[in-house]
Amino acid sequence: MYRIIEILTSDENQSRIKEFFKKFNVKLGDSVIIETNNAKHMGVLIPRYEYADVSHLVLKLKNGYNIGINLEKINSIKKTPVESDPTKSDTHNSLTESEIIRDSPDSQLPNLSLLSTGGTISSKIDYRTGGVMPALTAKELNDSIPELKKLANINPEVVLSEYSENIRPEHWALIARKIADNVLSGKYDGIVLSHGTDTMHYTSAALSFALQALPIPVVLVGAQRSSDRPSSDASTNLIGACTFATRSKFSGVFVAMHHTISDDVIACHIGTRVRKNHTSRRDAFHSIDISPFSLIKKDQIEICEQYTDLKFHERNKNLENLVVRSKFNDKVMLLKFYPGFDCKVIDYCVEKGNKAIIFEGTGLGHINKECFHQIKNAVKKGILVFMTSQCIWGKTSLTVYDTGRDLLEIGVIPLFNTTSETALVKAMWCLGNFEDKDVISMMTSNIANEFTNRIIVD
């Protein structure tokens, strides 16, 4: 990764760019209009990469993209007034001051709690290193997207400021209790939780189990690209999440992210049926073995008609029905089987005092017979062993082949089409909230739509 600096590296180029800025009385970060022989460009002056072409300035346009402009072709650079900042979208510029800055709540709008935990959606580029760093608070995130003020009266709060790889089960408990407090206050029509994308599906599953019979929607939202990067998905994802949280007639835990790589549609996924399947694409999140619960197209919410056999509650005012079980026991291991898998890892899990093992088996849920001895020993020691599949789509079935039938006889418990990530979280939740004798029945019961009775795909 290249390091970004404010001024170009060689002494000659440093002097040249300083003189150029001095000539037009501008500096990095200024909103400007640049005139060349052939065109006029509006945007914000931003730094160049250290090893980039030194004969061009970089301008961030209002659509979020960057362009380079040859210094030799620039006739003039003029600052633009703050109130007509060209980096704001046309929608932003069309808003009146009263719409952009509202000092008191609008009684005609719903009330929304915006909770922040960190992640890319709450980050900015650090121009010292060229990397992304946590920077935005929930309030800054809210204030940076004026459209939100037309959707709801938003109360922003910071719960955590962590990249999602740093989120642990104790953080799930903290977030769940905070959400429960806000729900029980009776102040809000919906709750949106901004979260890093890498482990957002773990957190959405955790909240789905920890918060049952929710009277209002809880929507997790993230971004693949930080809000100050070109083609950021932060604002569109957040607007979609807030739209669903305030206008959907259904309650529960959901994840809102781009449905395609374009900005046209935001998909809202069930919290236990979603997975991140791409490292960087805007449409990285997909519902597994099922269609997205809903699609948000501008201000319209389309609910999937195939969800008739799943458990969903309509939005209601019965706060007393909310069930909060926010304890998690992290004595659970998720083991991925692969050719050459060292069966002694299973012994290690037993020695470390784990209470459950979630296997990602091959295909329908198989493991090399060489590991059967270790699995038998684990079961004998009281370790619960559950089976999921390495395959993203489809269900486990241990009755098709001899290997599966042998695993069933040993005591391995299949989890149908629960994803391995959701199974891990559910096991931690079951062990944290129920007696050991009840864990198997809870793990094999459909509590938060982690099972689907039939495979539903587009």
Chain segment 407-422, per-residue pLDDT in tens: 999 999 999 999 999 9
Q: Tell me, yes or no, whether 143 and 281 share the same domain.
A: yes
Contact 287, 274 (CB under 8 A): yes
Q: Residues with catalytic annotation?
A: 120, 197-198, 276
- Give the residue among 398, 415, 397, 403 at the shortest CA–CA distance from 368: 403
Residue 93 has φ and ψ, to the nearest 5°, of -70, -20
224 and 313 fall within a common domain? yes
Q: CATH no. for residue 408?
A: 3.40.50.40
Tell me if 455 is assigned to some domain: no
Residue 38, amino acid: N
Q: Is the dihedral of CA 282, 259, 89, 156 positive or negative?
A: negative
Q: Do residues 282 and 363 both lie within one domain?
A: no
Q: Are 171 and 206 in contact (CB under 8 A)?
A: no
Residue 230 lies in a domain: yes
Residue 5 lies in a domain: no
Is residue 4, in this structure, part of any structural domain at all?
A: no
Q: What is the CATH number of the domain that holds 15?
A: 2.30.30.520
Q: Is 311 found in the same domain as 185?
A: yes
Q: Which domain holds residue 41?
A: 11-84
**Helix locations, 302-351, DSSP H:** 344-351
The β-bridge partners of 271 are: none
The reply to whether 131 and 210 lie within a common domain is yes
Give the type of residue at 27. Answer: K
Are 40 and 173 contained in the same domain? Answer: no
| Domain end marker among 34, 52, 84 | 84
Total count of domains within the chain: 3
- Is residue 146 domain-shared with residue 251, that is, in the same domain? yes
- Provide the residue-wise pLDDT of the chain in tens; the chain has 458 residues: 323 333 333 444 556 667 788 889 998 778 899 999 888 999 888 765 443 456 778 787 776 667 888 888 999 999 987 544 433 433 333 333 333 334 468 889 999 999 999 765 555 544 444 454 444 566 666 666 778 888 999 998 989 988 899 999 999 999 999 999 999 999 999 999 999 999 999 999 999 999 999 999 999 999 997 665 556 788 899 999 999 999 999 999 999 999 999 999 999 999 999 999 999 999 999 999 999 999 999 879 999 877 766 777 899 989 999 999 999 999 999 999 999 999 999 999 999 999 999 999 999 999 999 999 999 999 999 999 999 999 999 999 999 999 999 999 999 999 999 999 999 999 999 999 999 999 999 999 999 999 987 655 55
Q: What is the pTM of this model?
A: 0.77
Cα separation, 18 vs 367, whole angstroms: 65
Which residues are registered as beta bridge partners of 123?
134
Of 306, 324, 342, the residue at which a domain comes to its end is 324
Q: Structure tokens of 267?
A: 């998909």
Statement to judge: residues 412 and 298 lie in one domain: no
- Element at 169 (helix H, strand E): helix 169-184
Written as one letter, the residue type at 75 is N
Same domain, 192 and 278: yes
In a domain, 123, yes or no: yes
Per residue in 249-286, pLDDT (tens digit) is 999 999 999 999 999 999 999 999 999 999 999 999 99
Q: Are 452 and 290 in contact (CB under 8 A)?
A: yes
Select from 28, 51, 84 the last residue of a domain.
84
